[in-house]
Structure 1
Amino acid sequence: MKTIYIILSIIGFSFSVWSQNAQIAEADKKYNKYSYVDAIEIYEKVAEKGYESPELFQKLGNAYYFNSNLLTAAKWYGKLFELNPEQEPEYYFRYAQALKASEEYEKSDAYMAKFYEKSPDSRAKLYAENKDYLKDIEIHSGKFTVTPTDINSEFSDFGTAFFGDKIVYSSSRKEGALYKKINPWTEQNYRDLYVVEKDNAYKLSSPVNFSNVINTKYNESTPVFSKDGKTIYFTRNNFNSGRKGKADDKSTLIKIYKASLIDGNWTNVKELPFCSDDYSTAHPALSFDEKTLYFVSDMPGGFGSSDLYKVNIDGNGNFGKPENLGKTINTESKETFPFLDDDNNLYFASDGYPGLGGLDIYKAKITATGYEKPMNMGKPINSPLDDFCIIMDKEHKGYLSSNRIGSVGYDDIYSFTKCNYIVEGFITDVKTGEILIDATVEIFDENRKKVTETKSNALGKYSLAIECRENYTIRASKKDYESAEKMFVSENVDNLSIVNLALDRNVFLVETGTDLAKVFDISLIYFDLDKWNIRPDAAKDLEKIIAVMKQNPDMKVDIRSHTDSRQTHKYNETLSNRRAKATMDFMIKNGIDKSRLTAKGYGETELVNECKDNVPCSEAQHQKNRRSEFIILKM
């Protein structure tokens, strides 16, 4: 009986192994056909029975990763590295990305460092060059308010486009779909385009199927419309005239199509000439002048799994040769979902740059020579999961798609508005406190580029709206005044900063009898105790008087020096005379003709208060009597 038991055990074990191998083989078939949901179900059953292998954990991690479930992908990649810490370089990158879904940034960075050691491609270099990327992202965060829309369903809803006062988007919802056909990749319905009305508050109406000409029994998504609304470009599975096209490996890829609106009906649906059965083209976006079409493709010759391209459109609607946007934009990973705003900024989603996790949305200014370095849009535009498909209008209001925590479906559509930050204050005269009307107030960003400007009103007040969470310099200027500047950061919790600016007058109305000392706020030409030689600080004040006299060659000035009542009358008269003469000599030495100057010391004979001999006074009261005057005798 013992022998029989052993034999039966071996048979049972062999059958178990055979069954296990059969299950894995079946799962592999589904995995290779991109039926990730079905493949996951089988792989996980095998794993639950205790089976472990690097290949199993790789495919489980990949299946979740490619289906944008990064939280669960991290679980299986973690088991992969526990089983065998040495993996192909790409798995270090994918695990680092997946860890960000649960905001494990320190651990993610550790795997990015290992990725850099294994394969220093552009993604690794971008990380190595900016290990403080989270601080940089924080600087650009808080500029928008993001809110889920009412059109989200339990299914995948994403990829909005402006269509007049409507929004067109893609959804795998069953309600309203032309066909009830399940996509094996997602186990959801194939996507159709839907249209909703948009009011001034960006509230959306109930969705309606967009078109039975545009929509088919396969996927349609990411439309873009010409400004006149008569042309649509959109993404669709390779499906023409009721026939599904296939690549050499028998897979059906995606292409960009174009259609025209004639007499209220969409017609002439055609794929664009640069599309192919053997690679994907998708997610079209139009430049502001509609002369350039941007799109995504994995065509040969690119840098990563998908790159951004552009193609020229001539006046007859013909397309040129697609051009890769280059290494400034594209990485060895995935760049996708482009959008261009009215100011010639390119927005796109990428998981190749150091970000918050999954796909993040980036902004790159288009210049005459190429593209500026992409900037992460920060929170809450981006999250630890996938954020993509951004569109916005001139007022920086728009929509984005995301599968972030809190989404009700596979992907959801969110509306956003730009944060309105206000800086306001008063412009005054620095000496008199008088309000200054019609002063120019300008705000510059940290690169000294002017952001906005205004004028102070009848109350001397200004008010300007700017972006939140930025470093700014504010400058006020007015004719006859020196400009004044202050730096500030727009991050007050009340979204309001008060910045008052006081300007110093540099042009004055002078006439016969004007005291230039008062004009330039020179209360005293300073001398050392009982001395009359000109000190350096006194020289600076005298240079102001000299400059005015040089600008006015006919001006004559009487220099008057006064003392307080302390010391004797004779002493004060002698001292003030010597100081007045020393002042005149200094001005003559510095270019003023002697004939234009007179000088006299008045001692204590012209006191401005009651501080005479034997009258107790404070030092401040005596100070008022110790003064210098420069009286204009002739203009």
Structure 2
Amino acid sequence: MDKNFFYIIILVIFANLTAFSQERQLEKAQEAYDNFGYLNARNIYLKVAERGYQSQELFTKIANSYYFNAKYDEALFWYDKVLKLDDYELNSQFLLYYAQSLKATGNIEKAEKYYDKFVDVSGKSLKNIKLTSERYLELIENNSGRYDIKSIEGVNTENIEYGKTYSGGKLFFTSNRSNGLFDIRKNTWDGMPFLDIYQVELNDDKEATSKPKKLPGDVNGKYHASSPIITKDGKTMYFTKSNFNPVKKERDENLKIYRANLIEGKWTDVEDLTINDDSYSTAHPALNSHEDILYFSSNMPGGYGQSDIYKVSIDENGVLGEPENLGPKVNTLGKETFPFISDSNELYFSSDGHFGLGGMDIFYINITENGLENLLNVGKPINSYADDFAFGIQDSSKNGFFSSNRKLTLYNNQSETQLNQTNEFVNDNIYSIKEIDPIKDVYNAIIEGHVTDAETEKPISNALIQLYEANNSLYDTIYTDKEGYYKVEINYFKAYRLRASKEDYDSEEDVSDAEKEKQKIDFELHKNRLKLSPGVDIAHSLNIQNILFDFDKYKIKDSEKLKLEKLLVVLEEYPEMKIKIHSHTDSRGSHAYNQKLSLKRAQSTKEYLIGKGVNPSRLSVKGYGENQLVNKCSDNVICSEEEHKQNRRSEFIIAK
């Protein structure tokens, strides 16, 4: 390539880059010249108030700005100024913010007084619904009728049978049935035979196809053995067994969880686990789907009641960690026992401490990454007047088992869902189950809505929605999507205080209703920080667009001078700023008349500002008559006075 040609190309590129750079510098200079900065609505309102002007709108705007920044003392100062006005009107929004500010500053008695006024005006309340026994029964009924149940013939006897572990086509269960003439092991406490673990083959209809047999190996022993759970590979078993006290050389009342391995068809290598202790019981093990967490029941010290549900980690070498109590959402002062964890991490367990239908009911709670969800009673016919326990189900087939000591009478070979329950008790029996419908979270409800710009009606994306409970604790935080839409799950029986906020906008709050499955709460936010550049109309942000004139008049009323005082503060803050005053009328009257009237009103506004010291060269006027209506209210269209009022407006547009 010719060197001179190469240098020419470089010079051309350099010249273009230089020109582009100079052009951008000029653009930035023009932007800096055109941009007066940002209008901060609170600062404007404060300066107007300092001049001695008073109004509910003025004081409330200032108070709200402090309220939403958690400066409750300052907020109360301005809210109290509203209450000293002669013509104030207490809307629900004012009452809510005022009551919350009083509460936050420790004035509880007065806060309750104004909160009660808020309830009267709005019809809403942040007080939660109290759940009575009747309401609990209604909730249980909502989840009833979801299962078919059937007694397992060939397994149940007049003795005790219970269990839910299904592995390799076999049901592993617990029974105290007699094992022959020479089986003389008796429980000295009640004279009943000790419990052993059995297995029986079942077909697809969950009917026994073989005789139950005791588990081979070392699992069963001299005393109780029960509630086995087997790993997916069929090689490891966790089970419950009586504790043998080596000092007394006899068993004591406590139970322990053991682990055994299947070797050459026999369960052997029985191992005492580290979670056990001679001073308390551990029992009824359950494994999660990854088999790295063991759930169990225990009365170890530090629990909530007679027995609690715990979990403990299992590492790849089978070593157990420290037990962790599942907390008060699961555990009560009563007895929680027989946990089962599904493949989708749903916990089922039995309890006599939560409200139910009988002695022990089976309950459900979903475990998520965020913790425990709502506790639910699985309903009838699984739960009854009797003790119902040892529940287990497969996610894929929705087949499973549970046990109960209810007495059932079958009529005309009807399905077990239609059995007559006599409120009599028998020894425990095992039932196969089929889930027909999924459980319904009866505590779940939905709030949804949109957040929009009050002036443009356009959606506000990424607006922050915060939900507060009755005690002012933060319940949840979400953001609107690009359409300004949000959706959040709540408790059906609770009301919440919702706050919508976005940078450069005034925040807003509202209160939801309790006992609504789905409700819609929308927010319209007003800008409080506006970029002051040519073409921007500052009327909306300062609430001065509706300068009202008497019908067929154009003189500025005394009641409207406060609005123009806001504009005066802006003009004083930015002495180089020029404003175009545009006035509009509604459609009533002739076009020609409305054109003249709007011009007179714009001119009257200009003269008022000049009289306040504004240089006339900074102001220009234009009347548009009825040519730029903001709604449907044109000639011969019937509209309300409020709709016509929307068209009688003024605009204050920053000029170049």
Name the TM-score, length of structure 2 as normaliser: 0.48
Name the TM-score, length of structure 1 as normaliser: 0.49
